[in-house]
């Protein structure tokens, strides 16, 4: 309640006795005076009405005067005199601690006016008018209003003292401050208060009362006026200025403003630029229409803070005074309410857009108290009736500028595969996430390792079914190599070991594009079958000893190197000596055999010639458990290998060495280049390995001494490979039309096992068929192209070129609601913005194409860089989120814009008298 001026009816008491006599003669009878005044006092208090204070001493004298009926001059009360209620007669402040009945009497306005008209008011005294306020559970006359000190942010020294009621709104305080400080109607203002600790707090919700805001008498209230460039002076003083210093004198086209990348925030910048170029939403914020719709108490919202932060960003972007701004305030606000966007990790622009639209909707929801609404099911009723009911129910809980602009309606049809029960519901949507037609084939790069040691491994590029099995890969590779598919084993090699050995029935979806896939030619299978005569395939690792031997665990002194092998070993040669020779043969392309000059026998100096070799008994050969013949080497091996090593016993799958060993060509005993032992699948001979694990898979390690590896192992040749002609093949991806994606979106699909539907007829969950149809489209249609594919085994980005029209995107064939043939614009859309994503899954960059609502010119927004572009540059494989505006809406806006008087950038950003209130 602002300070009240003196009542015009409160005339001063006549000065002369004759005039006083005439005044008394004009008064009604004393009984009538008493009746009129006392009847007024007995009326109940009504919130908001005015009551007046009368000094008790004067009132008691008046009572005596009218009750006794004595009109003698000695008892006449004279004019009303409230001097005893004031502290001073300059500011006319009420004395503290006044009590009703002891110090004053309360009179309603009618009774007060009677007394003033009859007796007058002491010259110079103001009437003491007070309002009736309604507090929780009680109504009372507010004796002591709140006196606030109003100042401007730009002039903290000049303060105005203004009285307000506890029940006055903060908006009245703001409007009073604007009037007192002569603020122009188009300028934005907001309020701050100085709290008891001396710091400043924002008064965000101007619709609440001073009592709810806990304001007290003597409190300092600061009115801040927005700068012409859209920033607030307080932001600059607090070091939170969003604008680089070099932009202070810049003037340009409103809306053509970049956003600085704060560190992996290009996804946010892209989403903001798209949303900023939605004309009706931006006009809503620039014209301050959002202020009266801010919902500060919505438990699903962000207390209006997100909407205020976004409005602040729009004001600066469209002020025309910035080349770019730093959106750190908005970024912090988003992170505060959505923890997934905290920090500076890369995120998805569509995910942020979804959060932002939902947050703005709840912050601006016109529904202050959401009522319970039951799900609306078709139940055989006409679609028009059900759809209208569903939309009305949605609007009963959700009514905002976001709903007005972006929300449409789906028709969802579910059919039970068992009983045929049909469920029809109509559901609102904010954007369409449409799938891309996926190619049924994929290209895999693999390395084929032939059995012939003279041939180098070959790099191949094969086309396989996307949902095929490993057997399909072998069949495809067979056409290139002429090797039968059943003679191939596929393996994933990682860090010099077999990460996985695939079975033929394993799905190809388990192979990622980044995996190193080796396909080995073999003559048998890894899993030996008892009684089978097929060769046994043995996984072989290459390891090198490190110089240090002071390790507690057996495998710590060994380092894996090179590519592992899958070696086919005949059953009758499956002994340590036979395996050694087969490996020497398989490695002959890059492993050199010692020359005759290097034949040094064993460490005891025994010379073995051919005769000695022939004369040696099978028993003596069988006593040699591995290639090493020195007892000292055997002891070292035993120490290193542990109980699972082949040094102390045969490999679990080794056959009886007494058989067929004499068939090996007689030779002189040569120096052994490496030793062999059994290991686990990691290439380690861990003592914790159970005998069962060793029996399951015969992994073998070739252990090289550093000196032997250096002399006889050619690393360059070992890593060599050749490229097959098919490596140059590229799977051509033909472009798809946007309409194809929308058609695929509305195609019937069967629900996944993880997401069944509960059939009310069958009383159980079913894998029903589901079909989505478009019933009603919004003013602005957001189409999200689902480029990122996620599955149990893989993640990938589809770089398919989606061709989309800039103008005249016709949805008439997709909307199933009965059409208004006289209004074709209701189904045609024009493009206004595109969010682009460049790069892959783990890294990437977001940019934006957007059409300026004022100039109609397209621009390319790349963080803080903005440049004009032609329409033919917009379509690309990077297009990720498309913004389309309905043609009837665009035409309406064009007509409105053409009728408006051109304005400068500064006045353009604040076109109406409402105030701006943004954090």
Task: Give residue 791's pLDDT band: very low, low, confident or very high (50, 70, 90).
Answer: low
Query: Which domains are seen in the chain, by residue range?
Result: 26-137 (3.30.2230.10), 146-225 (3.10.20.90), 401-419+734-897 (3.90.70.10), 440-547+557-591+672-685+696-732 (3.10.20.90)
**pLDDT higher than threshold 80 for residue 110:** yes
Angle ∠(403,409,410) on CA atoms, nearest 5 = 145
Task: Give residue 54's pLDDT band: very low, low, confident or very high (50, 70, 90).
Answer: very high
The DSSP call for residue 292 is G
More confidently predicted of 525 and 188: 188
DSSP 209-228: BTTTTT--TT-EEEEEE--T
Decide: 94 and 3 in contact? Cβ < 8 Å. Answer: no
Angle ∠(329,335,340) on CA atoms, nearest 5 = 155
pLDDT given for residue 786 in this prediction: 93
Structure tokens at 132: 């009736």
Is 759 catalytic? The answer is: no
Decide: 185 and 913 in contact? Cβ < 8 Å. Answer: yes
Mean pLDDT computed over 129-139: 85
Query: Strand, helix or coil at 740?
Result: helix
pLDDT given for residue 71 in this prediction: 57
585-619 burial code (b ≥16 CB/10 A, e <16): ebbeebbeeeeeeeeeebeeeeebeeeeeeeeeee
When the pLDDT of each residue in the chain is averaged and rounded to a whole number, the result is: 81
Q: Tens of pLDDT along 681-713?
A: 888 875 444 444 444 557 899 999 998 999 999
**pLDDT higher than threshold 90 for residue 838:** yes
Q: How far apart are CA 73 and CA 65, in angstroms?
A: 10
Structure tokens at 409: 């309606």
Query: Strand, helix or coil at 436?
Result: coil
CA nearest to 452, candidates 511, 554, 522: 522
**pLDDT higher than threshold 70 for residue 631:** no
CA nearest to 62, candidates 16, 95, 111, 14: 111
pLDDT given for residue 67 in this prediction: 80
Query: Strand, helix or coil at 766?
Result: strand
**pLDDT higher than threshold 60 for residue 553:** no
pLDDT given for residue 199 in this prediction: 83
**pLDDT higher than threshold 70 for residue 916:** no
Q: Tens of pLDDT along 730-743?
A: 766 778 999 999 99
Mean pLDDT computed over 218-241: 80
pLDDT given for residue 691 in this prediction: 44
Q: How far apart are CA 110 and CA 116, in angstroms?
A: 10
**pLDDT higher than threshold 80 for residue 751:** yes
Highest mean pLDDT among 434-448, 479-493, 543-557: 479-493
Mean pLDDT computed over 805-824: 87
Task: Give residue 907's pLDDT band: very low, low, confident or very high (50, 70, 90).
Answer: very low
Long-range CB pairs of 476-482, under 8 A, 24+ apart, other chains included = 477/446, 477/448, 477/519, 480/448, 480/724, 480/726, 481/448, 481/450, 481/521
Decide: residue 1, CB within 10 A, 0-12 exposed, 13-18 middle, 19+ buried: buried
Q: Which of 266, 274, 474, 851 is catalytic?
A: 266
- Helix/strand number for the chain, H first, E second: 24, 40
Q: How far apart are CA 779 and CA 641, in angstroms?
A: 74
Structure tokens at 21: 């006599």
Mean pLDDT computed over 548-552: 53
**Percent of the chain with pLDDT strictly greater than 70:** 79
pLDDT given for residue 80 in this prediction: 93
Kind and range of the H or E run holding 422: strand 422-429
**pLDDT higher than threshold 80 for residue 532:** no
Structure tokens at 625: 């458990």
pLDDT given for residue 686 in this prediction: 58
Worst-scoring range by mean pLDDT, 59-68, 570-579, 694-703, 903-912? 903-912
**pLDDT higher than threshold 50 for residue 337:** yes
pLDDT given for residue 891 in this prediction: 84
Q: Which of 57, 563, 660, 845 is catalytic?
A: 845
**pLDDT higher than threshold 80 for residue 31:** no
**Percent of the chain with pLDDT strictly greater than 90:** 43
Is 845 catalytic? The answer is: yes
Mean pLDDT computed over 269-276: 97
């Amino acid at each position: 309640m602002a300070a009240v001026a003196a009542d015009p009816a409160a005339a001063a008491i006549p000065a002369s006795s004759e005039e006083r006599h005439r005044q008394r003669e004009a008064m009604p009878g004393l009984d009538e005076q008493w009746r009129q005044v006392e009847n007024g006092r007995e009326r109940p208090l009504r919130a908001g009405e005015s009551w007046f204070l009368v000094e008790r001493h004067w009132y008691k004298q008046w009572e005596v005067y009218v009750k006794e009926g004595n009109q003698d001059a000695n008892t006449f009360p004279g004019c009303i005199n409230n001097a005893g209620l004031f502290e001073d007669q300059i500011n006319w402040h009420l004395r503290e601690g006044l009590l009703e009945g002891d110090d004053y009497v309360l009179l309603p306005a009618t009774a007060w006016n009677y007394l003033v008209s009859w007796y007058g008011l002491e010259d110079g005294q103001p009437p003491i008018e007070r309002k009736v306020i309604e507090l929780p559970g009680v109504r009372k006359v507010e004796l002591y209003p709140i006196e606030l000190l109003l100042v401007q942010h730009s002039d903290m020294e000049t303060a105005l003292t203004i009285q307000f009621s506890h029940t006055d709104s903060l908006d009245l305080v703001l409007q009073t401050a604007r009037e007192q400080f002569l603020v122009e109607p188009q300028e934005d203002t907001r309020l701050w208060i100085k709290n008891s600790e001396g710091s400043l707090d924002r008064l965000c919700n101007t619709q609440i009362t001073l009592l709810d805001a806990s304001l007290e008498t003597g409190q300092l209230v600061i009115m801040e006026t927005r700068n012409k460039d859209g920033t607030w002076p307080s932001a600059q003083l607090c070091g939170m200025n969003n604008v680089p210093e070099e932009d202070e004198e810049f003037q340009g086209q409103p809306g053509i403003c970049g956003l600085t990348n704060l560190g992996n925030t290009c996804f946010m910048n892209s989403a903001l630029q798209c949303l900023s170029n939605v004309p009706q939403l931006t006009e809503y914020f620039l014209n301050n229409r959002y202020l009266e719709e801010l919902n500060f108490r919505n438990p699903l919202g962000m207390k209006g803070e997100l909407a205020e932060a976004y409005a602040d960003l729009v004001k600066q972007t469209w002020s025309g005074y910035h080349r770019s701004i730093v959106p750190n305030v908005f970024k912090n606000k988003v992170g505060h309410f959505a923890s997934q966007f905290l920090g500076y990790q890369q995120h998805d622009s569509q995910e942020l857009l979804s959060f932002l639209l939902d947050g703005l909707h709840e912050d601006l929801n016109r529904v202050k108290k959401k009522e319970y609404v039951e799900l609306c099911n078709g139940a055989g009723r006409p679609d028009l009736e059900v759809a209208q009911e569903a939309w009305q129910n949605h609007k009963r809980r959700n009514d905002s500028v976001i709903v007005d602009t972006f929300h449409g309606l789906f028709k969802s049809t579910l059919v039970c595969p068992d009983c045929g029960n049909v469920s029809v519901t109509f559901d609102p949507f904010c954007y369409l996430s449409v799938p891309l037609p996926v190619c049924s084939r994929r290209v895999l790069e693999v390395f084929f390792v032939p059995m012939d040691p003279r041939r180098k491994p070959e790099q191949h590029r094969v086309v396989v079914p996307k949902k095929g099995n490993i057997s399909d890969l072998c069949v495809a590779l067979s056409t290139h190599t002429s090797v039968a598919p059943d003679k191939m084993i596929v393996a994933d090699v990682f860090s010099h070991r077999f990460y996985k050995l695939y079975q033929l029935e394993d799905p190809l979806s388990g192979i990622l594009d980044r995996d190193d896939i080796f396909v080995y030619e073999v003559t048998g299978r890894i899993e030996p079958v008892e009684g089978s005569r097929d060769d046994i395939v043995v996984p072989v690792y290459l390891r090198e000893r490190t110089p240090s031997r002071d390790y507690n665990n057996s495998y710590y002194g060994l380092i894996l190197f090179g590519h592992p092998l899958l070696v086919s070993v005949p059953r009758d040669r499956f002994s340590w000596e036979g395996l050694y020779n087969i490996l020497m043969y398989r490695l002959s392309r890059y492993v050199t055999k010692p020359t005759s000059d290097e034949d040094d026998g064993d460490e005891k100096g025994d010379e073995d010639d051919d005769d000695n070799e022939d004369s040696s008994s099978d028993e003596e050969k069988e006593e040699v458990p591995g290639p090493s013949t020195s007892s000292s080497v055997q002891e070292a091996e035993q120490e290193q290998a542990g109980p699972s090593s082949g040094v102390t016993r045969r490999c679990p799958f080794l056959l009886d060495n007494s058989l067929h060993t004499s068939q090996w060509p007689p030779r002189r005993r040569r120096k052994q280049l490496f030793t062999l032992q059994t290991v686990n699948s990691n290439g380690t001979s861990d003592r914790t390995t159970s005998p069962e694990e060793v029996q399951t898979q015969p992994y073998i390690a070739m252990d090289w001494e550093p000196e032997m590896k250096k002399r006889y192992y050619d690393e360059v040749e070992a890593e060599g490979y050749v490229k097959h002609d098919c490596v140059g093949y590229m799977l051509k991806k033909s472009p798809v039309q946007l309409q194809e994606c929308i058609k695929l979106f509305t195609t019937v699909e069967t629900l996944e096992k993880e997401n069944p539907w509960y059939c009310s007829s069958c009383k159980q969950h079913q894998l029903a068929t589901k079909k989505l149809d478009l019933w009603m489209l919004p003013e602005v249609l957001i189409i999200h192209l689902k480029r990122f594919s996620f599955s149990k085994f893989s993640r990938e980005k589809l770089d398919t070129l989606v061709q989309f029209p800039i103008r005249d995107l016709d949805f008439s064939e997709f909307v199933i609601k009965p059409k208004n043939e006289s209004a074709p614009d209701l189904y045609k859309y024009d493009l206004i913005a595109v969010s682009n994503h460049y790069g892959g899954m783990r890294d990437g960059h977001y940019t934006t194409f957007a059409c300026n609502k004022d100039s109609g010119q397209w621009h390319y927004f790349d963080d803080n860089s903005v440049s004009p572009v032609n329409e033919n540059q917009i379509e690309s494989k990077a297009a990720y989120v498309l913004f389309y505006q309905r043609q009837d809406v665009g035409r309406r806006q064009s007509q409105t814009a053409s009728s408006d008087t051109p304005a400068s950038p500064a006045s353009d950003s604040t076109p109406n008298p409402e105030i701006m209130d943004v954090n």
